[in-house]
Amino acid sequence: MLKQFIPNEYLPSVFELDIEKLHENNIKGIITDLDNTLVEWDRPEATPELLDWMHFVREQGFQVTIVSNNSKTRVRHFSEPTGIQFIHSAKKPMGNAFRKACKKMNLKKNEVVVIGDQVLTDVFGGNRAGFYTVLVVPVAQSDGVITKINRKVERRVLKRLKDRGLIQWED
């Protein structure tokens, strides 16, 4: 059971994603979380650096879909100016939104990577749904109320994984 909480990769940020490796593995789509994965949870718009990254990955042939548990208003306000499609109120870790994102991109699971900053929602949900998962360090030290609760549980899960030698990176 604990293995479903282990990401395939652990990176400092989305900017460290190895684009060549994705191409080599026939990855054509990126499903990414929004809050504390791409920008701080309370930042309404993309940073210039993130806009450049989004442009770059699309230029490299990748489709991108934001899958967020946040509200339609929040996700739309962020996504529409970037031109990135999105799914709001995703109910992660349930797998429906991940599968819906694949369908929107007209891709198969093995052609898509899931990126997020939370083990309990992004990694667990992506793994359960059969995707390659990437955990990134949250871009902010603060979180919204619900996420604060998730982080407490997440720390316990990560400690167990670390104690059992299942992960080698530091939290």
For 3-48, how does the pLDDT look when each residue is reduced to its tens digit (9 = 90+)? 888 999 999 999 999 999 999 999 999 999 999 999 987 888 899 9
pTM value is: 0.88
2-163 adopts what CATH topology?
Answer: Rossmann fold (3.40.50)
Q: Is pLDDT of 101 > 70?
A: yes
Is the Cα torsion angle 145, 149, 152, 154 positive or negative in sign? negative
Which helix (H) or strand (E) segment is 65 a member of?
strand 63-67
Report the chain's C-alpha Rg in angstroms: 15
Q: What is the pLDDT confidence band of residue 142, given thresholds at 50, 70 and 90?
A: low
**Distance of alpha carbon 85 from the chain centroid:** 14
